[in-house]
Amino acid sequence: MFERILFRNLYNYGQIIKIRENGKLIGKKRRIVFGDPDLDSIDTINVENSNGIFRERIGRLVRKTKCYSKVKRKLESALELFQFYWNFMNEFKDKKTPAMLEVLINCPISWQTFLYTTIKYA
């Protein structure tokens, strides 16, 4: 209940329920959880796309493989490293990374810079 009050004006959140019969998709039901999302914009495309990219690029997430993570911290580390790569190194949309599109950096970060830069803490 607290989340609904806190996020009501900040976020739009909807849910899609897939209706199946005998394993076949026969319909979709959309509902508003909180906020004011457009019902037509509620879909699972972005989440399914992200899951596909993760499985394609992170061996630890591939189904039925010997590379699965046996230690939770190693899986978390692999996901954090991929997230950094995706946001700061992977160029798309006019040779820009997502971090460049959000104006967090002005050029992509290279593996050389990532691996060999010493961070000095104040």
20-34 pLDDT tens trace: 999 899 999 999 888
Q: What is the pTM of this model?
A: 0.63
Range of the domain at 92: 44-122
Domain count, the chain: 2
Confidence of residue 5 (pLDDT cuts 50, 70, 90): low
Reduce the DSSP state of residue 64 to 3 states and report it: coil
pLDDT at 102 over 70: yes
Q: Are residues 49 and 38 in the same domain?
A: no
Q: Are residues 8 and 64 in the same domain?
A: no
For residue 49, give both structure tokens: 């796309």
Strand partners, 17: 29
Residues 114-121 have a mean pLDDT of 90
Confidence of residue 117 (pLDDT cuts 50, 70, 90): very high
Helices (H), the chain: 2-7, 45-57, 72-84, 98-101, 111-116
Confidence of residue 3 (pLDDT cuts 50, 70, 90): low
pLDDT at 45 over 70: yes
